Chain A
């Protein structure tokens, strides 16, 4: 027999599943496609320009930093594309064209790479960048456009509901299909739900965060959202604002959410609760961004307190600090 030479010797297991981070990231990008298309449909080609600028800036920043710091360049993993895309979708269509670029550079350079790159950031880069833009350029960031109307800014349904702006409230159907004012990607609950469902089916995300998030917003706005108790309009709160975008695509970001399913449920409920606090009683009409960011920060803590009971142990008793 021919002698076997050059055999590969590795520690077991000797098989790997086809699961791949890159594939998962591209699933996310694909899932966001309906929202992108509807955003462009409602807000025109300028929306597309903003999204593309955000993506390009994110990918370029990632590539340059990885090159300069001498690490492996793997921008092809699609995570920078996700960041840019999410940021773009989170901007109103009438922002100046440099704004998405500044946002993406901040998201990648400061929030992600400065903390060690993929897997090491403690906040969702796109959301943290959005928060910074909101604080630095509040006028640009809240100049929401209405679909099909160029150049005129308008209040979002949530701002009207909140009383911080004047205007008429659109109906449920308009909210569902996205025919309302808001940032590019958040207006259509339908498009976002479709993509979210796709991610659930593809096992890219699991139901704990979206359900915890949407469920707690629904419940809390029903109880506290109206005159007196149990008199709110929970459906409106579900469909309006950035909730769907946040619950399915931002809060579910692996890196900045807990690793156990129980932890993820806590994350979802926590983000939902903070969102409602801000929406009903806070200074901003919308609270999804800060709801998620605050839960990002406590994610390590959630992980620490949701350690699963190990097989053959009594559970909590087994774990001493």
Chain B
């Protein structure tokens, strides 16, 4: 069968073999969780509980009236012992509720399964998505209910489910497509209904043949009428980037500065739809997720079902460390965030925790650009990274903007491929920030 793909991209070492055959294992509940309040794009939710309160698993502990936001739920039962600033894996100290476990893991009484999909209308599902605290679990943490709120004059024809998992090492989505197949399909059906769409594509990279087969098997048994199709994608990074996936599967391009809905599409991570299904079926909101722990300094890597707020160090302790760890990454090796300490909690968007020893930490200084054009070849949005970097360094922000610096998706393919080891995407990030800052200033004054 023809594998679909996009123009540009790179082929980094994947190392998915380390964990791809390891089943999702529930991690023992930690003694304490750090619930970072702001685990969504948009407005931060306000705490609904006070220090000293007793909370139960699934109980809403923070919310807001703002539309673009998502509530937060306690991931264990126990006592709120602090509301204070804690380091988030995103790199900032932000307000968090600290919950100390009572060891009972009691579920909150108010939680009830939702009625069958046939007995829910689109509005009810959208409301449920918000109540369940659902955000994009691929990493972006964009509130899911916002994506299905179709603005006046627009509509969603195609729902795209992102199961490409194009980042190396990560296998959490692979495992849940394999082990939670029914949830994935039920979640897609719910999403289709919420979005008012009839057709869904599940894009999966060809390195997960078992997941593709399992999904197809289960979909063949489906008799509820939705059109859901699994599409095999070529193995290439960043296939799972929203814009690249959308173009690969529909041939359409998200307009510069626009959203998938501008071309009638909605893209959702496969883990998010599975979590949506589990929420609808059990009433238990998003309080846990699958996290891949892997890398050259991890003794017993694996895929774990982890409570939100569990610290990285607790997970790493469970897996064991070997050698001399040099780098700790939240997320994948190409877009993940390097951590300064393991004392940071798992967020709703934490797909992986990677611990590398020195052999996996690139060394060597940047050299002059020789204009080989490799960065141009691999850029999946067809930019000229070498020029964007040059203009940023020279402070030529108008030029950088004219060369579409704001369209950079920061996938890092340019820096990955550069034979002179130049920090291309790293510099372009700074350039984007500078351009945006200047734009804001001009708008205000």
| Chain A residues engaging chain B, CB cutoff 8 angstroms | 1-4, 6-17, 19-21, 23-24, 74, 77, 79, 117-120, 254-255, 257-261, 264, 303, 307-313, 318-321
5 cross-chain pairs, A with B, having the tightest CB-CB distances, nearest first: A13-B412, A119-B368, A311-B381, A19-B419, A259-B373
CA distance A258 to B12 in the complex (A): 26
User: Is there an interface contact between A310 and B412, defined as CB atoms closer than 8 Å?
Assistant: no
From DSSP, what is the main secondary structure of chain A's interface residues?
Answer: loop
Task: Decide yes or no: A17 and B12 within 8 Å by CB, A7-B340, A118-B370 being known contacts.
Answer: yes
Q: Which of B328, B335, B370, B381 contacts A7 (CB 8 A)?
A: B328
- Flag B6-40 by CB within 8 Å of A: 1 or 0 each: 00001011000000000000000000000000000
CA distance A313 to B253 in the complex (A): 8
Task: Decide yes or no: A4 and B328 within 8 Å by CB, A11-B423, A254-B373, A310-B256 being known contacts.
Answer: yes
Inter-chain contacts of B386 with A (CB < 8 A): 259
Inter-chain contacts of A319 with B (CB < 8 A): 402
Closest to B410 in A: A12
Task: Decide yes or no: A260 and B334 within 8 Å by CB, A16-B416, A311-B247 being known contacts.
Answer: no
B196 at the interface (CB under 8 A from A): no
- Flag B397-439 by CB within 8 Å of A: 1 or 0 each: 0000011100100001001111111010110010000000000
Inter-chain contacts of B403 with A (CB < 8 A): 307
Inter-chain contacts of B337 with A (CB < 8 A): 12
Closest to A23 in B: B419
27 A–B contact pairs at CB < 8 A?
Answer: A1-B316, A2-B321, A3-B342, A4-B316, A4-B328, A4-B355, A9-B340, A10-B426, A11-B426, A12-B336, A13-B415, A13-B416, A14-B334, A15-B12, A19-B418, A20-B419, A118-B368, A120-B368, A254-B371, A255-B370, A259-B371, A259-B384, A260-B373, A308-B382, A308-B384, A312-B407, A313-B407
CA distance A309 to B373 in the complex (A): 16
Task: Decide yes or no: A312 and B253 within 8 Å by CB, A9-B340, A259-B373 being known contacts.
Answer: yes
User: How many residues in B have their beta carbons less than 8 Å from beta carbons of A?
Assistant: 69
Task: Decide yes or no: A13 and B335 within 8 Å by CB, A1-B317, A259-B373, A311-B247 being known contacts.
Answer: yes
Task: Decide yes or no: A15 and B334 within 8 Å by CB, A309-B382, A310-B382 being known contacts.
Answer: yes
- Flag B346-386 by CB within 8 Å of A: 1 or 0 each: 00000000011000111000011111111011001111101
Inter-chain contacts of A259 with B (CB < 8 A): 371-373, 376, 384, 386-387
CA distance A79 to B376 in the complex (A): 22
CA distance A2 to B322 in the complex (A): 10
From DSSP, what is the main secondary structure of chain B's interface residues?
Answer: loop
Q: How far is the CB of B11 from chain A (nearest CB, A)?
A: 8
CA distance A310 to B258 in the complex (A): 14
CA distance A57 to B373 in the complex (A): 29
User: Is there an interface contact between A312 and B256, defined as CB atoms closer than 8 Å?
Assistant: yes
User: Is there an interface contact between B377 and A261, defined as CB atoms closer than 8 Å?
Assistant: yes
Interface residues of B in 177-226 (CB under 8 A from A): none
CA distance A318 to B336 in the complex (A): 31
Inter-chain contacts of A120 with B (CB < 8 A): 368
User: Is there an interface contact between A9 and B339, defined as CB atoms closer than 8 Å?
Assistant: yes
- Flag B137-180 by CB within 8 Å of A: 1 or 0 each: 00000000000000000000000000000001000000000000
Closest to B328 in A: A7
CA distance A313 to B367 in the complex (A): 32
CA distance A260 to B258 in the complex (A): 26
CA distance A24 to B420 in the complex (A): 11
Closest to B402 in A: A319
Q: How far is the CB of A113 from chain B (nearest CB, A)?
A: 12
User: Is there an interface contact between A318 and B321, defined as CB atoms closer than 8 Å?
Assistant: no
User: Is there an interface contact between B326 and A7, defined as CB atoms closer than 8 Å?
Assistant: yes
CA distance A118 to B422 in the complex (A): 14
Q: Which of A4, A17, A254, A255 contacts B416 (CB 8 A)?
A: A17
Q: How far is the CB of B295 from chain A (nearest CB, A)?
A: 10
User: Is there an interface contact between A320 and B402, defined as CB atoms closer than 8 Å?
Assistant: yes
User: Is there an interface contact between A311 and B253, defined as CB atoms closer than 8 Å?
Assistant: yes
Inter-chain contacts of A118 with B (CB < 8 A): 367-368, 370
Inter-chain contacts of A313 with B (CB < 8 A): 255-256, 404, 407
Q: How far is the CB of B335 from chain A (nearest CB, A)?
A: 5
Q: How far is the CB of A276 from chain B (nearest CB, A)?
A: 26
Q: Which of A12, A24, A310, A318 contacts B334 (CB 8 A)?
A: A12
Inter-chain contacts of A307 with B (CB < 8 A): 384, 403
Output the residue of A14, A16, A309 with the most chain B CB within 10 A: A14
Task: Decide yes or no: A24 and B419 within 8 Å by CB, A118-B370, A320-B402 being known contacts.
Answer: yes
User: Is there an interface contact between A10 and B338, defined as CB atoms closer than 8 Å?
Assistant: yes
B333 at the interface (CB under 8 A from A): yes
Inter-chain contacts of B334 with A (CB < 8 A): 12-15
User: Is there an interface contact between A119 and B371, defined as CB atoms closer than 8 Å?
Assistant: yes
Q: How far is the CB of B358 from chain A (nearest CB, A)?
A: 9
CA distance A201 to B355 in the complex (A): 36
User: Is there an interface contact between B333 and A15, defined as CB atoms closer than 8 Å?
Assistant: yes
B325 at the interface (CB under 8 A from A): yes
Inter-chain contacts of B130 with A (CB < 8 A): none
Task: Decide yes or no: A8 and B370 within 8 Å by CB, A15-B333, A16-B421, A311-B247 being known contacts.
Answer: no
B85 at the interface (CB under 8 A from A): no
Inter-chain contacts of B313 with A (CB < 8 A): 1, 4
B281 at the interface (CB under 8 A from A): no
Q: How far is the CB of B12 from chain A (nearest CB, A)?
A: 5
User: Is there an interface contact between A19 and B336, defined as CB atoms closer than 8 Å?
Assistant: no
User: Is there an interface contact between B417 and A308, defined as CB atoms closer than 8 Å?
Assistant: no
B329 at the interface (CB under 8 A from A): yes
Inter-chain contacts of A12 with B (CB < 8 A): 329, 333-338, 412, 425-426
Q: How far is the CB of A153 from chain B (nearest CB, A)?
A: 38
Inter-chain contacts of B168 with A (CB < 8 A): 15
Task: Decide yes or no: A8 and B327 within 8 Å by CB, A14-B333, A21-B419 being known contacts.
Answer: yes
User: Is there an interface contact between B370 and A15, defined as CB atoms closer than 8 Å?
Assistant: no
B86 at the interface (CB under 8 A from A): no
User: Is there an interface contact between A21 and B371, defined as CB atoms closer than 8 Å?
Assistant: no
Closest to B318 in A: A1
CA distance A320 to B398 in the complex (A): 11
